């Protein structure tokens, strides 16, 4: 199928290492993307944190000191859903 007839158009919006995400955390178990609005990354070193990337402002990631098994942003509001872990 030619690219012009493809049902989906893809483009690279950013690379996670360009906003200081360690490549070891760029895996299916550490990164979630609910929609085109937010990306969440769980970092476990040097300290446990969740990085929230708002795709309207991708160069301003928000880091929070949270331990969680998984993290997911609500696509319609700034609500973070967490599974397991502990909060500081």
- Whole-prediction pTM value? 0.80
Higher pLDDT, 2 or 74: 74
Residue 42 has a pLDDT of 93
Summarize the chain as % helix, strand, coil (round to 5).
10, 35, 55
Both tokens of residue 55? Answer: 């795709």
Alpha-carbon torsion (43, 18, 61, 58), positive or negative: negative
pLDDT in tens, 8-51: 888 888 999 999 999 999 999 999 988 889 999 999 888 899 99
């Amino acid at each position: 199928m030619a690219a012009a007839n493809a049902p989906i158009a893809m483009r690279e919006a950013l690379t996670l290492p360009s906003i200081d995400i360690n490549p070891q955390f760029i895996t299916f178990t550490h990164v979630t993307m609910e929609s085109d609005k937010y990306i969440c990354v769980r970092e476990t070193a040097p300290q446990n944190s969740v990085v929230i990337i708002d795709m309207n402002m991708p160069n301003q990631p928000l880091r929070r000191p949270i331990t969680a098994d998984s993290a997911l942003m609500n696509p319609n509001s700034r609500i973070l859903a967490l599974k397991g872990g502990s909060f500081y």
